[in-house]
Amino acid sequence: MSAAKLEKPSMDHKESYIKALKEFQAEGRYSFLDIDDVENNFEEFIQKLHEGKKNIHKPYADWVETVPETVLWLVKDNEFIGTLNIRHRLNWHLEKWGGHLNFIIRPSMRGKGFGKKLLQKAIPYISYLGIDRALITIDPKDTSANKIIQFCGAVLEDTLPATDKFPERNRYWLDCT
Ligand SMILES: CC(C)(COP(=O)(O)OP(=O)(O)OC[C@H]1O[C@@H](n2cnc3c(N)ncnc32)[C@H](O)[C@@H]1OP(=O)(O)O)[C@@H](O)C(=O)NCCC(=O)NCCS
C-alpha cells in the first residue's frame, strides 16, 4: 500500500480514470467529455491537461477571459482518486464564483479522508505557482467541502448571494505561504 500523492496526470492511471469519469458523469459532472473519445485518445487527453492553457467556463466561454491552469491528480496504489485544478490567476468570474482552486474526489472514494488529504497536499504546489493566498469558492450547503477548507485554515471572506445566472457561494482565502 502506498501513500496518496498528487502527481501530473499520466497514462499509468487510464483504467481507473475512465472508471472514475463514469462515476462523475453518473452524478451529472463532466458531461462535456465523451468517455469513448477520452478512452480512445487518452494520450492526447493527458497532453491537453498538461498544457493547462484554458479555463473554459462553459457556457460563458465567449465572454470570460481564459487563465492558465495546472491540473494534478490524487493517486493512491496506482489508482486515480481525484483531481485538483489550480488557476494561476483570477479573472472577474473566478473572483466571485470559481476561485483559484477546484478539487473533486471520485464518488466511490468519498468520505474516506481523501478530500482533506488532497487540499493539504495541494498547498506547496499552489505556493510554488506563486500564489500566496488562494481563493476558494464553495456552495454554503456543501458540508464536507466547507469542513475541509476550514480544517486547512482558510478564512471566510463573505457569502455571495445567488444571482439569476450564478449560485450562492462562500468565498474563503487560504494562506499558502
Ligand atoms: C467535497 C469533496 C471533495 C469531499 O471529499 P471527501 O473525500 O468525501 O472528504 P473527506 O472524506 O476528506 O471528508 C472531509 C470532512 O467532511 C465530512 N464529510 C464527508 N462526507 C460528508 C457528508 N456527506 N456529509 C457531511 N459531512 C461529510 C467528513 O466527516 C470530514 O469531516 P471530519 O474531518 O470532521 O471528519 C467531495 O465530496 C467532492 O468531490 N465533491 C464534489 C466536488 C466539490 O464539491 N468540490 C468542492 C471543492 S471545489
- Provide the pLDDT for residue 56: 55
CATH number for region 5-175: 3.40.630.30
The Å distance, Cα 109 to ligand 1 centre, comes to 10
Query: Residue 149 corresponds to which amino acid?
Result: I
Q: How many helices and strands, by DSSP H and E, does the chain display?
A: 6, 7
Specify the residue with its C-alpha closest to ligand 1, atom 23.
144
**pTM for this predicted structure:** 0.94
The Å distance, Cα 111 to ligand 1 centre, comes to 6
- Provide the pLDDT for residue 14: 98
pLDDT values of the chain reduced to their tens digit, one per residue, 177 residues = 889 999 999 999 999 999 999 999 999 999 989 999 999 999 999 999 998 766 555 556 667 788 899 999 999 999 999 999 999 999 888 999 999 999 999 999 999 999 999 999 999 999 999 999 999 999 999 999 999 999 999 999 999 999 988 899 999 999 999
- Provide the pLDDT for residue 92: 87
The Å distance, Cα 34 to ligand 1 centre, comes to 27
Closest ligand 1 atom to residue 101 Cα is 48
Closest ligand 1 atom to residue 137 Cα is 48
* Ligand 1 pocket, mutate which of 121, 144, 151 (most atoms under 8 A from CB): 144
Spatial contact of 114 and 122, defined as CB atoms under 8 Å apart: no
Q: How many CB atoms lie within 10 A of CB 45?
A: 17
121 close to ligand 1 (CB < 6 Angstrom) = no
- Provide the pLDDT for residue 65: 81
- Provide the pLDDT for residue 62: 67
Q: Which of 88, 176, 67 is nearest to 127 (CA)?
A: 176
Q: Which of 28, 7, 142, 175 is nearest to 79 (CA)?
A: 7
**The total number of residues written for the chain in this structure:** 177
Cα(64)–Cα(55) distance, integer angstroms: 9
- Provide the pLDDT for residue 2: 86
Specify the residue with its C-alpha closest to ligand 1, atom 15.
144
Q: How many CB atoms lie within 10 A of CB 122?
A: 21
